[in-house]
Structures are given as C-alpha cells and as structure tokens.
Homo-oligomer: A and B are copies of this chain.
C-alpha cells in the first residue's frame, strides 16, 4: 500500500512556512501500515497541481493533498482534483449552513468567496471541519484514493483523525497490516561507528528492517516490522533488538524515542538523585536542556552561568590565583572544571555536579583554541572526573555538542555506579 502526499501552497515554496503537515500525515499513515514513497510541495498553480497529481497517480494507491481549500482564488486544490478525476464540484448543504451561522453570529456579511469553502468533489465523501470552515473530501477514482485536507494544522489534524483515517481504514480494509517500530536511542557513539558494529545486521536486513540515523549528539536505530498485532511484532523483532543491545548496549540510553536529557531525568527520579550544573561556555544550555523535561524539578536543583572570572570566584569559590596570572591554569582548564563541578554540587547540595568550561569561539581565549572544552562530573563521595574534549563547528555547534557530551558523561557516570 503506497501513499504520496502533495502539499499545495506557494508560501511553502517561498520558505515562509515549514511543511509540518507532511510529517504529521506521514507518521499517521506509517502507523496504519501505509508507506509514503514521495512527498511533494507545489505552488498555488492549477497546472502544476495537476502535474503532481499525474505523477502521484502513476505510483501511489493513496494521494493525500493538504492546503488550497480556503476561500480565495488562490485556493485551487478542489478544482484541480475535480478536473483531474473528471468530476464536478458541488456545495455541501451542512457546510454552507455552518458558514452562514458563523458569519451571522459575528455580525459579518458572508462574501461570495467564502462560500467556496463549502465546495466538495461530487461523488466524494465530505470530511467535516470541526476547527474551521473549509470542508475536505475523500474520493475513490479508478484504483486511487484521494483525500483533500485543509492547510492549517489545527484544522487538518482533527479532520484526519476523526474522518479521513477511519475512511481510509474502511476503504483499505484487510490490506493494511500495521507497521510496528522500536526506537533504540544511543549517545556517546557516532552514527558511523555504531553502523559499523551492526554492519552485517544492517546489510542482511529484510524483515525486520534496521535503519540508523543521527541527530546532534544522539543516534537512533529504528527497528520495524509489519505485523497484525504487537505480540507478533515483538516475536519478530526481539532477536534483532537483543543482538543490537549485545553489541552496543553500553551506549543505549532508551528504547523509546526520547532525548538524552529525558532519560537522565527519569533515571535520576527513579533513584531519588539530584543534580546541579555550573556552566561557562555553554551559557546555560545544560540547565536549559534538563529543565526542558517535564518533571525535571524533582531532580534538578539549579545551575549557575559563570561567564566571567569574577563570577567563578565569587559564586563558586574558584581561587583567583587559579583563574588569572602567570601561574594560573586559567578559566579553561582541567583544574577549573574540576572545582566548578565540585563546588556547584556542594553548594547546591546535590548528589551530582556537572561543569563545563571551554572556548566556544569565534576567537581563541586565554591562548586556548576554539573547540577545547573541559567537562567535570562530581559525585558525592567519589573522585571527580574531568574530560578534555575537542569539538568542531561554529559557536552554536560547539556549545550544543559540549552540552550533549556533558549530559552523556553525566548519564554514564550515574549508570556506572549501579
């Protein structure tokens, strides 16, 4: 069962908005076992919409169109699909009624243009719009199913879930066998090294499929199979999942699609542990990442951004003789990272303290190169660990990579103690 998504809208081609609808629909279709092979974006132009329809009709069983159902002359999706499938347009009475009520309640006159939003493709099933005015259509023509949805995500989502998805399930019946996926999340290991460890599994894959992909600081391995129920999926995937874990389990931080910081918060919460952060070059990014997780207040006491030597001295008790002067190790040093981690832990009375000091750029600092970063991990009753790291990239990237690395080291330290 193959699907194709056509998003209609010149604003997408101008880069004014991001095509989040394609992601949403793709995910929804994957969940009911329909594979999306192409996504296309086309402008508000009747010819080019039809060109996209011609291509899609040759290679897909289901075509989902988003956008172009509004009231203006620019909104051409209905017209293009009707012409392409050899149908005409008709007004839906209930939708016209809804429009009239809407404008009447607001004391506004309804313009003729607005009536266009009650048009559907004759012979199609109407998809009601519970969050807006433009209705959708669901249509079988030849062997192809067509679904027309409005562009605004707040209208599209309820229309898809309440009306389009049930319609699809009804029309595709037994042909759908659902796709089941497990996401294995890794940190502290690059995509290529991980892929290398799993090379024979990935090369020999057929069912289940194994797909690695990388985000900054994290790598995901998606293991997927089609199965009629979760138990069958589990039976098919278990040996592969176990083998992957055997080979790279020490970097595996979650078996569900969550970021590293969430795994840390959950792990700390389970154990009743707390943490605090002292940051220099990352400027608050570690604190920000951890506190982005709902419920992080149970495990995160707080942090300090010590952006000057005075603040490092005054707020974290780093001796000025350590920071400045000929014999000082400097703010960017193993010694300073160690003290920062220990001091923030003690002063915020936590089990763990994490620190970062380094050179994010664009220029070197204290004669130290851009990308050099020291990360300290202090744990109550244990020896403080300091890691020297070198990151590539611009200021934004170095900060991001340093923060993710610090989270990985914090996670690893907290795991090692088990």
**Chain A interface (Cβ < 8 Å from any Cβ of B):** 9-20, 22-30, 35-44, 48, 52, 55, 70-74, 102, 105, 108, 111, 113-114, 117, 130-132, 152, 154, 158, 191-193, 195-196, 199, 202-203, 211-216, 220, 222, 257, 277, 279, 282-288, 290-292, 294, 296-297, 300-308, 310-311, 314-315, 347-349, 361-362, 390, 392-397, 399-400
Contact B307 A72 (CB under 8 A): no
CA A363 to CA B273, docked complex, whole Å: 22
Give 9 new A-B contacts, CB below 8 A, not counting A16-B211, A22-B41, A292-B399. Answer: A11-B222, A13-B37, A15-B27, A15-B36, A154-B396, A154-B397, A284-B291, A301-B310, A311-B348
A41-B39, A301-B308, A302-B307 known; A113+B291 contact, CB < 8 A: no
| Contact in complex: B27, A14 (CB < 8 Å) | yes
Closest to A3 in B: B13
Collect the chain B residues with CB atoms within 8 Å of residue A55's CB.
55
Closest B residue by C-beta to A304: B304
The distance from the CB of A109 to the nearest CB of chain B, in whole angstroms, is 9
Most chain-B CB neighbours within 10 Å: which of A13, A203, A310?
A13
Kindly report which residue of chain B lies nearest to residue A29, judged by CB atoms.
B15
- Chain B residue numbers with a CB within 8 Å of A291 are 282-284, 305, 307
- Measured CB to CB, the closest approach of chain B to A5, in angstroms, equals 8
* A–B complex contacts, Cβ < 8 Å, 30 sampled: A14-B27, A15-B22, A15-B29, A16-B257, A18-B19, A19-B19, A37-B42, A38-B42, A55-B55, A72-B191, A108-B193, A131-B397, A132-B392, A154-B396, A154-B400, A283-B291, A284-B285, A284-B303, A284-B305, A285-B288, A287-B307, A291-B307, A294-B362, A301-B308, A302-B306, A302-B307, A303-B304, A304-B315, A305-B305, A314-B347
Closest-CB distance, A188 to chain B (whole angstroms): 12
Query: How far apart sit A390 and B108, CA to CA, in the bound complex (Å)?
Result: 14
B14 and A131 contact, CB distance less than 8 A: no
Contact check, A71 vs B195: say whether CB atoms are below 8 A apart.
Answer: yes
Q: Per a CB cutoff under 8 Å, which of B29, B292, B307 touches A395?
A: B292
Cβ of A48 and Cβ of B41 under 8 Å apart? no
With a CB–CB cut-off of 8 A, which chain B residues contact A394?
Answer: 130-131, 158
- CA–CA, A39 to B195, complex, Å? 30
Q: Do the beta carbons of A393 and B154 come within 8 Å of each other?
A: yes
6 tightest CB-CB pairs across the interface, nearest first?
A: A283-B291, A15-B27, A284-B284, A15-B26, A284-B287, A39-B41
| Complex-state Cα separation, A306 to B191, whole angstroms | 36
Given contacts A22-B41, A26-B12, A36-B14, contact A192 B154 (CB under 8 A): no
Report the Cα distance A273→B214, complex, angstroms: 41
Inside 8 A of A72's CB, which chain B residues have their CB?
A: 191-192, 195, 202, 212
